[in-house]
Every structure is written in structure tokens, then in C-alpha cells.
Amino acid sequence: MMEEAWEALLKSYVYYKGLPVGTLAAMDPTAEALNYNQVFVRDFAPSGLACLMRPASAGGDPEIVKNFLLKTLHLQGWEKRIDNFTLAEGVMPASFKVLYDSHRLRETLVADFGGSAIGRVAPVDSGFWWIILLRSCTKCTHDHTLSEMPEVQRGMKLILNLFLSDGFDTFPTHLCADGCSMIDRRMGIYGYPIEIQALFYFALRCSREMLKPERDGKELIKRIDKRITALNYHIRNYYWLDFTKLNNIYRYKTEYSHTAVNKFNVIPESIPDWVFDFMPLRGGYLIGNVSPARMDFRWFLVGNCIAILSSLVTPAQATSIMDLIEERWEDLIGEMPLRIVYPALEGHVWRTVTGFDPKNTRWSYHNAALIWLLAAACIKTGRPQIAKRAIELMEQRLSKDGWPEYYDGKAWSYVGKQARKYQTWSITGYLVAKL
């Protein structure tokens, strides 16, 4: 199965002027290509990690990662216009593709900054994944040449200045639009979704290691340090939920002034019934969102795992997240790992929140690709047996089903209705988890 996955990964390589610069999103021969024939920044993250982690003697390829980082950096410098509106300098593309210009007889790059995306939403997470992959490449190769290049330092600063800019927000968390992250269609994750906050924190810590304190670098490092401290405090205190915290929220009253316990005016009656059944006595997790008068109590895998990997949560909280996964195995892992969000939106809520999006039907959109995040979090918390159990479940189905994009059903028994086969990040997610 590993050999099959490596072969599929190599077949997905995209070349520009003879050099590999990324991997296709999917190579399903039975489905229309749509935008799956492009290189997506977030999708390439596990591809890049797989290429970095495999020994060079066995076919490891750090060069594709370096080429990808430089090529997307080049695209960052393009003018980014959607209709009549120009995006900020620091925005990284969601994806790009290589086309052959028959008139000029040469290859050209075409980038998407959200103009072709679902809902015309620019990706917030692309810049974060770019920084995290840059740091991974530097750590793995022990070569700082790439990260110290003036154009790379400038690109990193543009991303950071975009996300650290001051405005009207009173929270250290990053405000973003619905559909701007991996869940790229309406799922009610607008505002301050945990996935974006965890990636933001991770990218800040990675940047802190790579930024050179020259010229304006010192001032930027000070801003990073300040934001890391504030973000750390905010997430650990206000996003954390366990049995004790749930009991406290259940007894909240409407309060005013800076001494208020109920700082965000959360009304206890807004707590959904499923939370009380879901929350075990042992375990806890970071909830999906916190904003005025609203807490999204749903479990999101990406945010919780990245919070562990980046040390955004305390060691005790990281242990509690793993406890929760074990306690609620059937709900969060199921027959075909693993669930990106729990619980599913259903009925009237699903209709109003997703806008009847048929690709977000209930108990759908569960990604096998995310197994690498779970495996990494398990290793960091000293619980590799959890990852081993999940991977063994996956190995019973994933290859036989043709490496699908996602599974449907409450127990993930069915390959997703609109899922592409030979999805590269399902392939590389498995590879990285095994490595």
C-alpha cells in the first residue's frame, strides 16, 4: 500500500519549465477535472512533508518543496484583482496551474486568489501553510539558505503584516470570512474559527524562528511576540471546554463591566443539547468558535490537532484532547477515519447555514487526508497507539476504494457522492501518517 501511494504521488507531480513545482489535487480518470487539475497550497502541505520525510536514498525530494515555495512566492507578487477589487500584497494564492501558451510557445502559470473559488472567497490559510512548510523544509534539510533569501524574507513579512495589521478588532484571534479555510464552503465557521487561529499561532511561531532581525525585522518580531502571548492566553482560556467549564457556562448570567465572568455574553440557553451528551467526565477540546453572544461548540479536528503540534494548548489540555478522542472514538473516528467536524449540521440548520449546498449534506465531508495531523498529535502526546489503531482501520478500505477524497454516512461506510478518486492529499496524508 505504501509503494502504491508513492507511485501515485510521483504521478501527481506538476512540472514547470522542466522542474517539479507541486502536485495535482486529484487524478480521477472517471470524473471531470474542474479545479482538481491544479496545485493547491493547502493540499500540497502533506505532499511536501512526505517528500521531505522520505530519505533521499529512497526517493525523497526536497527540491520539489523548494521549487513550490519559490513559485508560490513569485505568484504572491502578482496583482490580485477579483472583479474591481484588489487584494492585499501579502495574500498567497489558493492554487495555480501550468498552461501551455501556443502563441508564445511557452508554459505559463495561472494563479487563483479566490476569483474562481467556491463563493469567490480568498484563502486565509494559504499564507500560514506556506510559512509552516518553509520552516519544515529548513528544519529537515538543515539548510537556511532558502529562508534567508531577501525575497523569501520579504514574502514572509508581507504575510505577517497582513495578519498582524491593526483594526477595530478587540480580540487577538484573526477575523476571517466563511469558506476561507480548508472547509471551503459555508459551514458556519465565519468569525474566529479554531482552525485559522491554530494555524495563525503555528505560523507566528515558525516565522519567529526564521525572521532576520535586520531593518524592520526587529519591530516585526516584537509584534509577533506580543500577538503570540495574547493569542495563547485567549485560546487556552476562552476556547477550552471540558466538563467543569461546561458546567460554568451552563450557569452564566448576563454581565457588564471588565470584571464580568461571562465576557462574551453567552446565553446558557444557546448551548445545544448534544454537547451535554458528548462531553465526557474525562477529556476536553477547543471548541470551533468564540465571538459575541455565540460559541460554536462543534469539534473540529484540524484546529485541535494543530493546537497540539504548535503547543498552543498546555500539555494537560493536549492530554485531555486525546482522552476525548478515545472516549468518543465511534463519533470522531468511526469505521473510516476520520471526522473533520462533529456533529453534522442537519435539518433546518443545515439548510440555512450551508445554503442547501449538496456537497455538504449531513454526515458528509470527512477527510481521510487528516490522518497525518492525528498521527503527529498522537506522537507528540505520547499516545501513538491511537494513531496506530486509526491507521489500521484506514488500511482496510482506503486503497481498495481508490483513495477517495472523503466518505459519507454516520459511520463513514460509503465513498462520498461527489468525492474524487485518487485524491493526492488522501494519498499523502496516509504516507505522512505512516512515516
In a domain, 300, yes or no: no
Owning domain of residue 35: 1-163
The yes-or-no verdict on residue 290 having pLDDT over 90 is yes
CA quadruple 311, 230, 300, 177: dihedral positive or negative? negative
What percent helix, strand, coil does the chain show, rounded to 5?
45, 15, 40
Per-residue model confidence (pLDDT) at position 370: 92
> Which positions ≥6 away from 88 have C-beta within 8 Å?
80, 162
Q: Taking residues 191-200, what's their average pLDDT?
A: 96
The yes-or-no verdict on residue 368 having pLDDT over 80 is no
pLDDT band at 225 (very low <50, low <70, confident <90, very high): very high
Mean pLDDT of the chain: 92
In degrees, rounded to 5, the angle at the alpha carbon of residue 312 between the alpha carbons of residues 265 and 435 is 135
- Which residue in this structure is represented by grid cell 484571534? 173
Burial profile 310-337: b = 16 or more Cβ within 10 angstroms, e = fewer: bebbeeebbbbbbbbbbebeebbbbebb
pLDDT in tens, 312-348: 999 999 999 999 999 999 999 988 888 899 998 888 9
- C-alpha cell, 435: 512515516
CA distance 258 to 41: 41
CA distance 292 to 301: 23
Per-residue model confidence (pLDDT) at position 366: 64
Domains contained in the chain, number: 2
Give the domain-ending residue among 147, 163, 179. Answer: 163
Give the domain-ending residue among 111, 129, 163. Answer: 163
In a domain, 255, yes or no: no
In a domain, 345, yes or no: yes
97 SS3 class = strand
Q: Which residues pair with 123 in a beta bridge?
A: none
In a domain, 305, yes or no: no
The yes-or-no verdict on residue 412 having pLDDT over 90 is no
Are 353 and 412 in contact by the 8 Å Cβ rule? The answer is: no
DSSP symbols for 340-397: SEES---HHHHHHHH-S-GGG-TT--EEGGGHHHHHHHHHHTT-HHHHHHHHHHHHTT
In a domain, 288, yes or no: no
In a domain, 196, yes or no: no
CA quadruple 314, 265, 225, 145: dihedral positive or negative? positive
pLDDT band at 188 (very low <50, low <70, confident <90, very high): confident
In a domain, 39, yes or no: yes
Give the domain-ending residue among 121, 147, 163. Answer: 163
Q: What is the pTM of this model?
A: 0.96
Per-residue model confidence (pLDDT) at position 413: 79
From 362, 371, 128, select the one nearest 354 (Cα to Cα). 362
pLDDT in tens, 17-51: 999 999 999 999 988 888 899 999 999 999 999 99
* Phi, psi of 66, deg, nearest 5: -60, -45
Per-residue model confidence (pLDDT) at position 423: 95
In a domain, 211, yes or no: no
The amino acid occupying position 191 is G
